[in-house]
Amino acid sequence: RGCKLVGCGSAVPSLHISNDDLSKIVDTNDEWISVRTGIRNRRILSRNESLTSLGTEAAKKALEMAKVDPDDVDLVLLCTSTPEDLFGGAPQIQKALGCKSNPLAYDITAACSGFVLGLVSAACHIRGGGFQNVLVIGADALSRYVDWTDRGSCILFGDAAGAVLVQACDIEEDGLFSFDLHSDGEGQRHLQANLKENKKDHELDTNGSLHGLLPKGSSYSCIEMNGKEVFRFAVRMVPQSIELALKKAGLTGSNIDWLLLHQANQRIIDAVATRLEVPSERVISNLANYGNTSAASIPLALDEAVRSGKVQTGHTIAAAGFGAGLTWGSAIIRW
């Protein structure tokens, strides 16, 4: 059995935040942000919006494009690091879509690599598990974990959701040629949002009282990032990963129609494209409008490129995600 991508969709919050808006809350300016990152605008969730509603909207659009009924979906994978329920957000999207067949739905947490991992997981479920229609949704709201006083990181992130429908097909039509996935927990310190813990609350006192077991609730601290290290990691590891995946597929950078990287920084995108000898007109980028939307960035950029007619049926795309974990990986796909 093979699997192919048959639909895509995306959704972004209505609230725009420009570089000039940010310059009113931190010591920065449009020129610095544009030159160093390529970002000009981002969208941020407001009170009446949620990750679930964005993910659902993106998924509905993917199903419409694929002309597949929600009842025919048998797996929903939500790639996110920012679910609204600690236990996972995928079942809420499954419910909101109104899938009456109660398909399996679960989350994949791998930060900005989440969507590529989700795509590969969908293929494995279809090839080995007999699944027919798998929704892969990349959705994140990192704005909820951004330190809005840290000018080194708050300028980068935005919120969004993107989705694709992956469908079983004959092996001749297979749309996932190869992939290459990695992680390195050693590098976690360069990009993290750790659990805030008051150790005292969690200790049982010496009398054996249940004090320590009283519900306290916890939350995560803001994103802490060593931008330079993350930049170096991405520029070093991403081209290697894409080259490996291309080699497995019997391709080179000159054979692909599009390079579609996680949208983190235009200088990272340009450096990877140069290393792979992919000319800029074959590089997909919408970073200027949305910033770094984590697991949503690849399906959001794919959806815009498909709907604008840039990416057409039969085109080969080298997609790569990278980010916290550290995690990184690539997939060579056919649209």
Asked whether 309 and 315 are in contact (CB, 8 A), the reply is no
Q: Is 152 in the site for ligand ACO (CB under 6 A)?
A: yes
CA gap 157, 39 in Å, rounded? 9
Asked whether 138 and 80 are in contact (CB, 8 A), the reply is yes
Asked whether 298 and 324 are in contact (CB, 8 A), the reply is no
Site string for ligand ACO, 46-85 (x = CB under 6 A): ----------------------------------------
| CA dihedral over 58, 64, 70, 74, signed as positive or negative | negative
CA gap 291, 299 in Å, rounded? 14
CA gap 229, 108 in Å, rounded? 25
Q: Is 330 in the site for ligand ACO (CB under 6 A)?
A: no
169 is catalytic: no
Q: Is 264 in the site for ligand ACO (CB under 6 A)?
A: yes
Q: Is 222 in the site for ligand ACO (CB under 6 A)?
A: no
Residue of 111, 242, 261, 287 that binds ligand ACO (CB under 6 A): 111
Q: Is 36 in the site for ligand ACO (CB under 6 A)?
A: yes
Residue of 231, 244, 248, 282 that binds ligand ACO (CB under 6 A): 231
Burial of 251 (0-12, 13-18, 19+ CB in 10 A): middle
202 is catalytic: no
112 is catalytic: yes
Instruction: Assign 119 to helix, strand or coil.
Output: helix
83: which 2 tokens? 């679910």
Among candidate residues 19, 265, 286, 292, the one labeled active-site is: 292
Question: Computed over its alpha carbons, how large is the radius of gyration of the chain?
Answer: 20
Asked whether 319 and 329 are in contact (CB, 8 A), the reply is no
Report the residue number, 99 or 146, with the smaller CB distance to ligand ACO.
146
Q: Is 146 in the site for ligand ACO (CB under 6 A)?
A: no
Report the residue number, 184 or 205, with the smaller CB distance to ligand ACO.
184
Rounded to a whole number of angstroms, the minimum distance from the CB of residue 230 to ligand ACO is 4
Residues 167-186 that bind ligand ACO (CB under 6 A): none
Sorted by sequence, the CB contacts under 8 Å of residue 251 that are 6+ apart come out as: 177, 316, 332
Among candidate residues 262, 265, 286, 289, the one labeled active-site is: 262
Residue of 1, 40, 95, 151 that binds ligand ACO (CB under 6 A): 151
User: Which parts of this chain interact with ligand ACO (CB under 6 A)?
Assistant: 28, 32-33, 36-37, 111-112, 151-152, 155-156, 191, 225, 227-228, 230-231, 264-265, 292, 294, 323-324
Known catalytic residues?
112, 262, 292
